[in-house]
Chain A
Amino acid sequence: MLSLNELWFILVAVLFIGFFFLEGFDFGVGMATGILAKNDTERRVLINSIGPFWDGNEVWLLTAGGAIFAAFPNWYATMFSGYYTPLVVLLLALIARGVAFEFRGKVQDNRWKKTWDICIFIGSLLPPFLLGVVFSGFMKGLPIDGQMEMKAGLFDMVNGYTLVGGVTVTVLCFVHGLLFTVLRTEGEIQARARRLAKQMLYPLAALLALTGVATYFATDIFEAHGTVLSVLALLGLAAFLLAGYFLSHKRDGWAFGMTGAVIALAIIGVFAGLFPNVMISSVDSAFNLTIHNAASGHYSLKVMTIVALSLLPFVLGYQIWSYFIFHKRVHEKSHLEY
């Protein structure tokens, strides 16, 4: 039987899977507005393809943050204060990106649009990168002292390993977003998205492999969870190969599902590798934050379990419904709100 602490560890993982799967593609589409789109119309088609969804997708991050606060207050406190400056940058990026979608189309002026285009591009590029850096840091270990305070310098947070993690997450989101574009658009831009996605599979494969190898050497998570992580890595490899296979056979939905599976398996890998820790201390393993010493009390976890398990099905239900309403492809003659 799962303890409530374990259950909440899993729930937090589920929320992050939801976040990276969903917001992952809209980050990718945001990057594509700067890389794939050739003119204003194409940029608008891309932005409108995620128009009804991006805000709801972002709430998965807020909910994950809220869930960590409620279930593991010490994790929340250590992580958010320890990663202070990167989080400030993350917030600025999310702020700029969020208003850019709404503001961009309101004034017909090239400089105006250019400004918000930059916000959308950078605002979509930085968050997955920063979150990749943060998550790799969890696994590699951070200078956390006996009072659970993380006093990290720049190079504790940003180093070779975490940079690899950051870049991998970013490119993974980009490819995932390209496949979403293939699914949601038609004509020339769709063809180009397909071509670029295929080309991007090679660097992505290299990055994923590099991350795997780097994780093996830079962290000690394989020592405790070697078997599980190997299985996950094999599954990830299979999903990745299938993504390539489906993409070249124009089974776009399946291809998109497979990059989603790679994302999900990567997050599962991070959490499985950490378990039962939530943050690893590089000072002393006795100072690790775990699902026990970071957690809320039993009563609080019980209440939150009941609340979360009764609300999540509804959330999933109406979010899926919204994707169903807007399943039609977006093209330049569609109603482009943004």
Chain B
Amino acid sequence: MDPLMLARIQYAATTIFHFFFVPVSIGMVFMIAVMETMYVVKGKEEYKKMAKFWGKLFLINFAVGVVTGILQEFQFGMNWSDYSRFVGDVFGAPLAIEALAAFFLESTFIGIWIFGWDRLSKKVHLLSIWLVCFGTTLSALWILAANSFMQHPVGYQINNGRAEMTDFFALLANGQLWVEFPHTVLGALATGSFLICGISAYKMLKKIDYSFFKSSFKIALVVALCSSFLTAIFGHQQAQYLVETQPMKMAASEGLWGESGDPAPWTVAAFIDPTNKENKYEIKIPYLLSFLSYSKFSGEVKGMNELQAEYTQKYGEGNYIPPVRTTFWSFRIMVAAGSLMILFSAYGLYLWMRKKMDRPNKGYLRLMLFGISLPYIANTSGWIMTEMGRQPWTVFGLMTTADSVSPSVTAGQVLFSIIAFCTVYAALAVVMVFLWLKVIKQGPYKTDASDNEHSTDPFGKEGYHAVS
């Protein structure tokens, strides 16, 4: 088998898996910080219970996110050593800063938060969860600064056959970063809040601890609506930026081979035939692509054939068209999932305004339970579009994926690691879901079993639980 293809499969599989957990962590820790703030401000025990209950779920998720993240940092060197040599001068910096500024902060203060309930004053304890929240966001900023360089390289010069940093602040001021970072972090908030809404809806359907979950639901609903709406706004910004900086990705995500015409219509669905470079059957909405690209109802968008000719002239012979069907459909799936998220949460707000939130109808609760899947779908398909749409490049215009792979790593080695990681990751997923269901079933009012039930020490049985 081809070591390049294997390395790509491993990178995609492990990164997608990792990103099931990251947005949940970012989103949930924010929600928990909000809940604990309400506890400190209002002094109501219920909010503390909330922070702890959702905190328990968060910690299980966080653990998986952290351990799968270690691989992410090592993988560049392991599987993409030529890439690392070529961009390390620029790309290594944000990664190192992410560890130094963000990982230390979140890992230290999460320890303080978990173990500090009875050792710290309320305010210091609250501060620790906000610092974790700050840390996770900071981490997102730096890793996305690195990713933005791959989408739209800035602040570098090619010296000695590699990219060398010439302007650190250009990396941070990268326009790509400032559309990608808000879009991703807001998407993460939407993920965390939809999870809390969905789980709360489930418990409300079961009529267990109704008032606890109703309050959780309401807090999460506010965040869900705001964040999913804002995610879409920044998604729109990102699309406009894409037209300027990576028009090929834009054209591929539209399945646009030839000229779009002016004003450009948006293709809802199409049968794409990449071999003959044409689409059979298309459903189009007039004006919409112009609006998506330029925020006005006129303007042309370049097609893939024209861009291919341009790039061939600029970069030499080669195929510069990414996998069109993947890019096209992942974009649509993301948009569809995101739109449903806005609709679902807006409908919740409507029920709330109509004062129907105290006894919301079962249909709506079921909808929100199903809604848990939406952010996962949107996050995953969004990243597939972003990364697949950039192909054949790892760093747009500078280095191709084929040139990035480690020359000294054999197909056998990668095959072994794919099998090893996928097996372990599958086991992690099963265990994590199992533990989540268990914690959800237990609910917020069950005292911590872990503290006194299973002590084999006869003197440990009266072991008090300092927390509750």
Binding site for B on A (CB under 8 A): 39-41, 51-53, 55-56, 58-59, 62-63, 65-67, 69-74, 76-82, 84-85, 87-88, 91-92, 94-96, 98-99, 101-103, 105-108, 147-151, 296-297, 299-300, 303-304, 307-308, 311-312, 315, 318-319, 322, 325-326, 332-338
- Complex alpha-carbon distance, A303 and B413, angstroms: 36
Q: Is the interface of A mostly helix, strand, loop or mixed?
A: helix
- 17 residue pairs A–B, Cβ–Cβ below 8 Å: A39-B457, A59-B108, A63-B99, A71-B92, A71-B96, A73-B92, A77-B85, A78-B81, A81-B78, A85-B417, A91-B71, A103-B60, A299-B164, A303-B165, A325-B116, A332-B460, A335-B115
Which residue on A lies nearest to B116, using beta carbons? A325
The smallest C-beta distance from A40 to any residue of chain B, in angstroms, reads 5
The smallest C-beta distance from B155 to any residue of chain A, in angstroms, reads 10
- Verify if B336 is at the interface (C-beta below 8 Å from A): no
Pick the most buried of B63, B74, B82, B119: most chain A CB atoms within 10 A of its CB. B74
A80: chain B residues at CB < 8 Å are 74, 76-78, 81, 84
B77 touches A81 (CB 8 A): yes
B114: chain A residues at CB < 8 Å are 51-52, 337
The smallest C-beta distance from B149 to any residue of chain A, in angstroms, reads 13
B112 touches A70 (CB 8 A): no
Contact A99-B63, Cβ < 8 Å, known A84-B409, A87-B74 = yes
- Complex alpha-carbon distance, A326 and B112, angstroms: 8
Contact A95-B111, Cβ < 8 Å, known A81-B408, A85-B416 = no
- Complex alpha-carbon distance, A296 and B156, angstroms: 12
Which of A69, A95, A307 interacts with B70 by CB under 8 Å?
A: A95
- Complex alpha-carbon distance, A73 and B89, angstroms: 7
A88 touches B420 (CB 8 A): yes
Contact A67-B96, Cβ < 8 Å, known A297-B165, A333-B460 = yes
B96 touches A70 (CB 8 A): yes
A108 touches B454 (CB 8 A): yes
What number of B residues sit within 8 Å (CB to CB) of A? Answer: 87
Which residue on B lies nearest to A69, using beta carbons? B92
Which of A55, A82, A92, A335 interacts with B110 by CB under 8 Å?
A: A55
A311 touches B100 (CB 8 A): yes
Contact A69-B413, Cβ < 8 Å, known A87-B74, A307-B97 = no
A319 touches B89 (CB 8 A): no
Contact A58-B95, Cβ < 8 Å, known A77-B77, A96-B424 = no
A96: chain B residues at CB < 8 Å are 424
User: CB within 8 Å of A: which of B431-468?
Assistant: 431, 435, 438-439, 449-451, 453-457, 459-460, 462-467
List the 8 closest A-B pairs by CB distance, nearest first: A73-B88, A80-B77, A70-B92, A66-B96, A52-B111, A69-B92, A102-B63, A81-B81
The smallest C-beta distance from A287 to any residue of chain B, in angstroms, reads 13
Contact A87-B78, Cβ < 8 Å, known A81-B408, A325-B120 = yes
Which residue on A lies nearest to B82, using beta carbons? A77
- Verify if B107 is at the interface (C-beta below 8 Å from A): yes
A325 touches B455 (CB 8 A): no
A308: chain B residues at CB < 8 Å are 96, 100
- Complex alpha-carbon distance, A318 and B104, angstroms: 9
- Verify if B180 is at the interface (C-beta below 8 Å from A): no
Which of A39, A150, A297, A337 interacts with B164 by CB under 8 Å?
A: A297
- Complex alpha-carbon distance, A299 and B420, angstroms: 40
Contact A63-B100, Cβ < 8 Å, known A77-B84, A107-B438, A300-B89 = yes
- Complex alpha-carbon distance, A230 and B66, angstroms: 40
Contact A322-B463, Cβ < 8 Å, known A85-B416, A151-B408, A299-B164 = no
- Complex alpha-carbon distance, A203 and B91, angstroms: 44
- Complex alpha-carbon distance, A35 and B105, angstroms: 32
A88 touches B417 (CB 8 A): yes
